Structure 1
Amino acid sequence: MKFGIVVFPGSNCDRDVAYVTRDLLQQPTRMVWHEDSDLSDIDIVVVPGGFSYGDYLRCGAIAQFSPAMRSVHEHAQQGKPVMGICNGFQVLTEMKLLPGALVRNRDLHFICDRVSLRVEQADSIFTQQYTKGQTISLPIAHGEGSYYADADTLASLEDRQQILFRYCDPQGSVSPQSNPNGSLENIAGICNRGGNVLGMMPHPERASDPLLGSTDGLTLFESVLKTALALV
């Protein structure tokens, strides 16, 4: 399976993702410059974290118009896997590949921390290697990571089991106290209706190497890789 990692001016987590896909998972990996529109050789696309185009206008607003992202849209429409992490999640909501929006954190501060997440669904292509209700720990680093959507969208996400991760305490309890950024319903990660597009604010690539003390994030990459390999 070949991973493609989209690189914008301002991306700063692209090499972290490549380390996971290329070195830990030992899969072919190509860095896709934002002006490159050819994704014909790519099986799994990752839109990484950072500050695409300097976050001018607002996070992800300019990146959505890049040639690479137009091709990512086509890739997603074909049912192929797309992962958006942090700024990548923001880009995917701007493109309407995922519903809702990411707005300023509740306390208007940039947050760099490690948080607990509860796995809400274990039957998606991104979470099948986890167990439902499992508590994992991943780093976060964002200033505009508070998930927002209207009431109808939130109800639809719940009904269609599109909420994959929620912020929780280390025991797995979801509460306002365990919500680091004010996301509605403690939402940390969602997928689209087709189940092939993931957006999440926490950084699984930063918790994938045993040398960093945790491999909770590696499981996500292993899940989507397993699905892709099964489709070959």
Structure 2
Amino acid sequence: MRIGVVTFPGSLDDRDAGRAVRVAGGEAVALWHGDADLHGVDAVVLPGGFSYGDYLRCGAIARFAPVMQPLVDAARGGLPVLGICNGFQTLCESHLLPGALIRNDHRKFVCRDQRLRVESTATAWTSGYEQGQEIVVPLKNGEGGFVADQRTLDELEAEGRVVVRYLDDNPNGSYRDIAGITNARGNVVGLMPHPEHAVESLTGPTTDGLGFFTSVLEGLIRA
């Protein structure tokens, strides 16, 4: 299975995401922001970093990159897409996911290993976990506070679209401790923590993040 990893100017976790794909058993395919072609990949990862220097709002310029038009169309057609940190911001700016990510409530960049609870396994990227499973993956962001209006938050909760939730202290002021969400179809997932940094015991605090990548590969094989 071929998983595309997009590189924008300012991306810094694209290589980590590509390695996570390979560790999970997939083929990582580099996708360039200026190329309006997904090259036949089976899924896409939008990695973390600071696309276009995070000028304007985070992800606000990346949403207009040539690669995003075919990606948005493919995602609406069912292509699995995972947005991590800046990728999550880009998915919200592209209206593939609701809500927005704003500056952390304490106005400081946070970098730490973060405990999470998997709230939904009904997505292309979390089907390999157990509902309620607690995992630890790194978190690093300055604009990681997930916000949405009350109606949207209630819909996300009622429809089971909160994918992962922060445990212990809320690191950035995200409403309802939300760390990641999905679209109604379950193929598009965005989260602020970095599962690609927790796929090998040598370098990660755990290997808990590997499940995001094995989940989508196993789902593609079954399909």
Indicate the TM-score class for this superposition, using the shorter chain for normalisation. over 0.9
The correspondence of residues 175-190 of structure 1 with structure 2, limited to 5 A, is 178-190=169-181
**Residue 20 (structure 1) aligns with:** 20
Indicate the percent of aligned positions where both proteins have the same amino acid. Answer: 50
Q: Give the partner amino acid of 1:102.
A: L
Q: Give the partner amino acid of 1:222.
A: T
The root-mean-square deviation of aligned C-alpha atoms, in Å, is 0.9
Output the CA distance in 1 between the equivalents of 2:56 and 2:214: 35
Output the CA distance in 1 between the equivalents of 2:138 and 2:57: 23
Output the CA distance in 2 between the equivalents of 1:40 and 1:79: 16
**Residue 4 (structure 2) aligns with:** 4
* SS of equivalent to 1:210: coil
TM-score, structure 2 length as denominator?
0.97
Moved more, 116-125 or 57-66: 116-125
Runs of 4+ in 1 over 3 A off after TM superposition: none
Post-superposition CA distance 1:133-177 (Å, at most 9, x none)? 1110010110000000000000000111100100013xxxxxxxx
- Aligned pairs, number: 222
Would you say 1:226 and 2:197 are equivalent positions?
no
* SS of equivalent to 1:147: strand
Q: Give the partner amino acid of 1:224.
A: V
Structure 2 unaligned segments of length 5 or more: list them.
Answer: none
The correspondence of residues 80-229 of structure 1 with structure 2, limited to 5 A, is 80-169=79-168, 178-212=169-203, 213-229=205-221
Output the CA distance in 2 between the equivalents of 1:221 and 1:214: 15
* SS of equivalent to 1:73: helix
CA contact (8 A) 2:122 2:186 kept: no
CA contact (8 A) 2:25 2:214 kept: no
Output the CA distance in 2 between the equivalents of 1:149 and 1:33: 31
Q: Give the partner amino acid of 2:207.
A: T
**Residue 62 (structure 1) aligns with:** 61
TM-score, structure 1 length as denominator?
0.93
CA contact (8 A) 2:164 2:179 kept: yes
Output the CA distance in 1 between the equivalents of 2:73 and 2:48: 21
* SS of equivalent to 1:67: coil
Moved more, 206-215 or 51-60: 206-215
